[in-house]
């Protein structure tokens, strides 16, 4: 229950900060809070250095395909697309790039 409450507080804080200072909200949102919290919980459940190292490295490689979404959305929004369309297309792009990474990453020698 505490995990869900903490996640909710972080999301609400980002939204509230964004009403006044969008750039500051973006900074807070870009912090790897979810990854850090996830690693803490993973370590608590299974304190294994090699497992944690593998998790952290795979997380790095999966962040890369999520980044183009943050270029596509502003482009679409500034060219007349509605928010929900831009968000949907951004998420679809991210899912497609995740699939590419999951398929080709191991072939490229990436530890996924």
69, 91 Cβ separation under 8 angstroms: yes
Q: Considering the chain, what is the average pLDDT of its residues?
A: 91
Token couple for 86? 């831009």
Q: What is the pTM of this model?
A: 0.77
Q: Which pLDDT value is given to residue 53?
A: 95
pLDDT value at residue 1: 73
As a whole number, mean pLDDT of residues 4-11 equals 83
What pLDDT digit, counting tens, does each position of 26-74 carry?
888 888 888 888 899 899 999 999 999 999 999 999 999 999 999 999 9
Q: pLDDT confidence of 20, banded at 50, 70, 90?
A: very high
Res 38: pLDDT: 87
pLDDT tens-digit readout, 64-101: 999 999 999 999 999 999 999 999 999 999 999 999 99
The pLDDT of residue 67 is 96
Delimit the domains of the chain by residue range.
50-112
Contact 60, 39 (CB under 8 A): no
Residue with tokens 């999520």: 66
CB atoms within 10 A of CB 109: 6
């Amino acid at each position: 229950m505490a995990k869900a409450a903490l996640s909710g507080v972080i999301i609400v804080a980002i939204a509230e900060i964004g009403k006044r200072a969008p750039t500051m909200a973006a900074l807070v949102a870009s912090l790897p809070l979810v990854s850090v919290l996830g690693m803490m919980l993973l370590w608590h459940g299974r304190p294994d250095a090699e497992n944690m190292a593998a998790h952290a490295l795979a997380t790095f490689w999966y962040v890369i395909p999520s980044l183009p979404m943050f270029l596509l959305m502003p482009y679409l929004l500034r060219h007349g697309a509605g928010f929900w369309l831009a968000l949907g297309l951004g998420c679809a792009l991210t899912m497609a790039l995740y699939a590419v990474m999951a398929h080709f990453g191991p072939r490229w020698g990436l530890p996924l």
